[in-house]
Amino acid sequence: MNEFIQNYFQKFSNVDEFSLKNNMKYFESLYAKFLDAKELELIIHEPETGIHSNVIPLPILDKSKYPHIQEYDELKTEDGPLNMYNLVLCKMHAGLGSSVKRKDLLFKTCGRKNLGSKGTDLFIEIDGEKKSLAELQLFQTKLISESKIFNKVILQNLVNEETVDEVGKLKNHLVTHDILQMKMPTILEGELTSDRVAPAGHAFLGFSLLTSIFTNENIENDLIVIGNGEDLNSTPDNKILSWVVEKEIPLTMITTTKLEKDKKGGQISVVTGDVDYVTIIEKAQAEKANQLSYFEQLGLRKKDQKSLFNTNIVVINARALKDKLNKLDIGQDQFSQIISPDLIKNNKTQNGKTYTQLEGAIGSTMLNLDKYFRLNLGESILSFLNLDPVTREKFFIPIKMIEDFHELVEKYEYNTKTGRFDLKEN
């Protein structure tokens, strides 16, 4: 182990052993990729300008190379044996979401000056009372539990040191222990430094959950659903979960057909070769390759096929995944490298110095595990479920800017029977 990394994490005596170990292994895997000279920068296939690559986005991919994509509207009605499964709602609150400018609104609403997560800081009026989106998530969990559709329902939150206090106030018998994401060292002039520390992307959550399933021999029938903490609609419905159970799908990534407003989001591509595999291209990678404009327009041009935009909603069928992982004759260190996300180098300037934050996206973690299975076992363990532009709002209402929140309040109404947002009737 790198001595700097070991010394950095040893300082956190107040962090539980499970969180400390997972954070350290996650950062080690990212740093190993940073040091790996073979880790090539991603170049997107762009035939119009003479740039040829085997990284081909779906909008320009030969359809014979397409991975299997299940359209939501083609699913059957919900009829799976969900009462045999535990539903674990894992919501991401490990960031301030500072692009959502809300300090004045937060102070006006509850008198608080310090930001928490977006979910704890944005409020909806319900029956004359202000409720945060995180509070409403807790209420949604209670409604699902009372429906008796599942054996058990649990809410588990991803937090960091800046959000843990506010998120931690929302507790009841349905909330299990939080998953803590720590701030990580950065790179300055090629060397590790703690002069600037920062979170290393939401891939940490996927890394932690997959590691837990790999190392734990006693896996229950858990359906683990990952979604944004401020998006109440990011919980899949029973139709989706019944499909996951019926088909015994280990991993499911939920995507949506790319629209103009999705230009900056990650999109699905195929890497062609002796054995094809699926990857995700992020904005930062396209920007580094000087292909940002091309990346943003893919799937929006008349000649293109549709592009799949990643929603960051993931379903893990823990029992089905464990059965697949049992085929692997590898140790935890190798598994950590397999599921380590593709490295994103995020440069930030502070006090005239440029620091590189090592980051990864959650979709990349899932896809890299699928890649290993494709290349080494000749099978895929990941499926795509796509939402069309109409259906997407049933499951995907992200809040990236404060304007998105104002649009939510204007266009949607909160349904107290389902704990979700529905489009208002005209």
Q: Which residues contact 366 (CB under 8 A, 6 or more apart)?
A: 206, 210, 251, 253, 314, 382
The 10s digit of each residue's pLDDT in 280-307 is: 888 888 988 999 999 999 999 999 999 9
Query: Which of 49-63, 169-183, 237-251, 329-343 comes out lowest in average pLDDT?
Result: 169-183
Mean per-residue pLDDT for 155-183?
A: 90
Instruction: Answer yes or no: is pLDDT of 415 > 70.
Output: yes
Rounded Cα distance, 206 and 251, in Å? 11
Backbone angles phi, psi at 204, to 5 degrees: -55, -40
Rounded Cα distance, 109 and 105, in Å? 6
Q: Give the pTM.
A: 0.94
Rounded Cα distance, 159 and 92, in Å? 7
- HSE-CB for 402 with a 13 A CA cutoff: 12
- pLDDT band for position 41 (cuts 50, 70, 90): confident
Q: Provide the 8-state DSSP code for 68.
A: P
- pLDDT band for position 98 (cuts 50, 70, 90): confident
Continuous segment of H or E residues that includes residue 405:
helix 402-411
Instruction: Answer yes or no: is pLDDT of 39 > 70.
Output: no
Phi-psi region of 248 (alpha: psi -120 to 50; beta: other; left: phi over 0): left
Instruction: Answer yes or no: is pLDDT of 80 > 80.
Output: no
Q: Which residues contact 261 (CB under 8 A, 6 or more apart)?
A: none
The 10s digit of each residue's pLDDT in 309-329 is: 899 999 999 999 999 999 999
pLDDT of residue 267: 86
Rounded Cα distance, 279 and 281, in Å? 7
Rounded Cα distance, 263 and 4, in Å? 38
The residues pairing with 193 across neighbouring beta strands, listed in sequence order, are 186
Secondary structure of 275-337 in the HEC alphabet? Answer: CCEEEEECHHHHHHCCCHHHHHHCCCCCCCCCCEEEEEEEEEEHHHHHHHHCCCCCCHHHHHH
- pLDDT band for position 1 (cuts 50, 70, 90): low
Continuous segment of H or E residues that includes residue 179:
strand 179-181
Domains belonging to the chain, first-starting first, are 68-258+306-414 (3.90.550.10)
| Pairing label, strands 123-126, 129-132 | antiparallel
Please name the amino acid found at residue 13. S
The 10s digit of each residue's pLDDT in 225-257 is: 999 999 999 999 999 999 999 999 999 999 999
